[in-house]
Amino acid sequence: MRHLLAFSWVLAGLALGAGMSAPVAAEDAYPQRAVRIIDAYPPGGGTDVLARVLGQELATRLGQPFVVENRPGAAGNIGTDHVAKSQPDGYTLGLAPNQTVAVNPVLYARLPFDAAKDLTGIAKLARLPMVLVVPSSSPVKSVADLIATAKAKPDELTYASAGAGSPHHMAAAVFQKLTDSRMMHIPYKGSAPALVDVLSGTVDLIFCPLNSALPYIQDGRLRALGVTSPARLETLPDTPAIGEEVPGFESDIWMGLVAPAGTPPNVIATLNRELQRILAQPEIQQKLSGQGFVVDPATTEDFNRLMVEDRQRWAEVIKAAGITVD
């Protein structure tokens, strides 16, 4: 009888231990509920497309919804601030182009968040190359032509952008710095009106995201002089990389996924691992390529290093070009 009683106590202890350990194991599992991916730009743009494609794949793999929430405004600063101030529990993530985590932090004198302290990288995802285009009627036929004209007639050539500090503006600033040339900046409130005025010939040129310019290049309304990526692109194989004529030039838009600082390492590791697997799929690469993206994943460590290096790089460009924002 004493042996039976002792055995029953052992069984009870094992059952209690199992009951206590189950919630701990469940708490360690990620995710247990819906995850938000904050896109700091309006629906339908490049960041939105990327966030939704990857969100759907993450939901399939991890068994919980990954819901894209658009919070546009202030050049991406509103949405990025929301991510920076969210709970670091892995349930609020941010789709981050270099504009929001590398350019804006050194462009704006005052921001409500500190990108270096308040955010941490999860993974680099892809690049969105830009292309230097002129109207098809332009006498400028090549990058070499553009440099020669800009040097011979400083500030006579005009270039459009989506506003001060936008990727279009920054690419032009890098180009002028490396070629020792000067062109007149014409800022617009958004990329769409800027591109319209280049198409009409009102403005001479623009450094434009590939996905926006490609249809007009293909129908002959725009002439592509060069791409901002380190090498030529499969989508425009006959268009040289600007770096072929201007050594050291590169000004792609890259995009990554970030989280509030302090997010648990196991959460970041899980997301990076799954994203690497997703981006390795040929069908995902093909889908994103159709939107102008070049899949370019990186480890968490490499992505965090890239953000630091890019802030330093853009700080130098901004200072040299005297770029300011209101």
DSSP strand pairing (294-298 vs 119-128): antiparallel
* pLDDT, mean of residues 216-240: 95
Enter the pTM of the model: 0.86
Please tell me whether residues 309 and 173 are part of one structural domain: no
Q: Are residues 122 and 262 in the same domain?
A: yes
Beta pairing partners, 70: 39
Lookup result for tokens 């206590």: 20
Same domain, 120 and 140: no
Identify the pLDDT of residue 32: 97
Q: Tell me, yes or no, whether 147 and 178 share the same domain.
A: yes
Residue 3 lies in a domain: no
Three-state SS for 161? Answer: strand
**11 confidence band (pLDDT: 50, 70, 90):** very low
For residue 17, tell me if it sits in a domain.
no
Looking at residue 183, the DSSP 8-state letter turns out to be -
Q: Are residues 155 and 63 in the same domain?
A: no
Q: Final residue of a domain: which of 221, 244, 267?
A: 244
> What's the CATH code of the domain at 236?
3.40.190.10
Number of domains in the chain: 2
Same domain, residue pair 78 and 50: yes
Residue 259 has pLDDT above 90, yes or no: yes
CB 283 within 8 A of CB 53: no
Domain end (from 244, 276, 292): 244
- What letter would DSSP give residue 196? H
pLDDT of residue 46: 87
- Which pairing describes strands 92-97 and 184-187: parallel, antiparallel, or unpaired? unpaired
CATH number of the domain bearing residue 299? 3.40.190.150
- Domain closes at, from 224, 244, 264: 244
**Same-domain check for residues 120 and 139:** no
Looking only at the bridges linking them, the beta strands covering 35-39 and 66-70 are: parallel
Domain holding 146, by residue range, is 130-244
Highest mean pLDDT among 2-6, 110-114, 189-193: 110-114
CB within 8 Å of 144: residues ≥ 6 apart: 245
272: in domain: yes
Which ranges in 29-166 belong to alpha helices (H)?
46-62, 77-84, 98, 104-107, 115-118, 143-152
**Looking at the structure, do residues 120 and 150 belong to the same domain, yes or no?**
no
Q: Say whether both 117 and 142 belong to one domain.
A: no
Please identify which residue in the block is written with the tokens 């490499």: 302
Looking at the fold, whether 117 and 265 belong to one and the same domain comes out as yes
- pLDDT class of 28 with cuts at 50, 70, 90: low
Cα–Cα distance, 212 to 130 (Å, whole number): 9
Q: pLDDT of 83-110, one tens digit each?
A: 999 999 999 999 999 999 999 999 999 9
Q: With CA atoms as reference, report the closest residue to 128 among 103, 101, 97.
A: 97
Contact present, 302 and 122 (Cβ < 8 Å) = no
Instruction: Say if CB 118 and CB 77 are below 8 A apart.
Output: no
The token pair at 170 is 């920054």
CA 185 to CA 173: how far, in whole Å? Answer: 9
